[in-house]
Structure 1
């Protein structure tokens, strides 16, 4: 595990923490580079159903560690290598079939906000603030992250974020759809939502997450993979159990892993 990242398992939930609170959890090149491996481990672990991303201390993340830019982004080749690591992290999160949840406090800015947007869900404490600031650094945001942001909040709000670099508070983030909800008891409320995800059919969750991803990537029609996902679900144990539980008026006991 890269310095500045901590990963822990809590039952069916994996928790990835940006752990540089003295630096507002600024994300280093090594941290960006390590995220795909963490995602792969979660996807491959049959005991885990959900990945929660959060920050140690008072912040989610204030963004990429700009102190590295002088050495790592000082040439075109260096900038390309750095961007490859960022895109790799964002792509890995976007491609997850298991749900990912960003649990946000304090600063969620720049690369930190970029990571949160790549997650399936974003829940925030009331005091959090959000922004994406490439225009303050002379950087042009990458295509994948721009598409993700536009898909989430629309082109007008995406332009506001990217072109102005201004920050917004949690209430405004909720209004424009950047976050799913604002929670006063963040840990408890996120834990309750994650428990709900864990109680649902994982065959359904992962199949639907894959289809949503294909639609967001621009696919307009069904294909053989989607047909196979839906066919496997209808012939699977979770479907039989879900119908039986509904008819018997009891909670379902799903077994898909």
Structure 2
């Protein structure tokens, strides 16, 4: 596993890449990986750099020291609401909007902004015993619209409203029953690495198209012909692999997608 040094990291983030899988670690274990304001502000540039890196095919987001994240550092919250919204919403949107597939590997505390960061990932793998919650009402915060609606899109308006009004902490079982967690594992980071290897072997054309459509884009297969040509090429490789009972050798990379 080799360290990556050419991304816009700040203190509190560690990034490594191995076999096409990037692992971004929230690393403030003394504070249960609560994000400083500097970390929130840096995350959009970090995600842009990761998404632009052809050597990273899948990204895992996790935390150090047995916890995912306790959200925002409470000591950094005494800023104007507009500044808080801008920093948090832009960071979480940057995570949600990348084309690279993302997996949250969750242990321990996943509360407040930690819950919102996990919600911004494509896949969530969690260990039994993890806890979750949107605790804004305990602090007098108003969460930004984007992350609030994203959470509602996952667990439904009714439960999102309940958590936002009560600021209640929920346990692993309830988060699983609500559909927030996709996969259960005693070792979520190991399971995330296994899943990342599987995802990396799938069609980047299919994955990129799916993520963009889910974000509200409407690709036109007739526009310029490139999408139709890419499909024609990749489907042949998919068919060849299917009939040969071998993994297909796809050649399309997410950076080949034309906006």
TM-score, length of structure 1 as denominator length: 0.89
**Counterpart in the other structure of 1:35:** 43
**1:249 and 2:245 aligned:** yes
Q: CA deviation at 1:187?
A: 2.5
Gap runs ≥5 in structure 1: 216-222
* Contact 1:170–1:182 (CA under 8 A) maintained in structure 2: no
Residues 192-207 of structure 1: pairs in structure 2 closer than 5 A: 192-207=194-209
SS in 2 for 1:52: strand
* Higher normalized helix content (fraction of residues): 1
Show CA shifts across 1:193-244 (max 9, x none).
Answer: 11110110111111111111117xxxxxxx45466585254233x2221111
- For 2:140, the equivalent position in structure 1 comes to 138
Which residue does the alignment assign to 1:16? 24
Matched-pair contact (CA < 8 Å) for 2:12–2:39: yes
Matches for 1:1-257 after TM superposition, within 5 Å = 1-70=9-78, 73=79, 78-214=80-216, 223-225=218-220, 228=223, 231-236=228-233, 238-257=234-253
Please give the root-mean-square deviation of Cα atoms over the aligned residues, in Å. Answer: 1.7
- Cα shift readout 1:33-81 (whole Å, capped 9, x = no counterpart): 11111211121111211111100002100110011223xx1xxxx3312
- Asked if structure 2 preserves the Cα contact closer than 8 Å seen for 1:174 and 1:180, the reply is yes
Moved over 4 A (4+): 224-230
CA distance in 2, matches of 1:43, 1:133: 30
Tell me the distance in 2 between the aligned counterparts of 1:96 and 1:52.
Answer: 13
- Please, which runs of 5 or more residues in structure 2 have no aligned partner? 1-8, 254-259
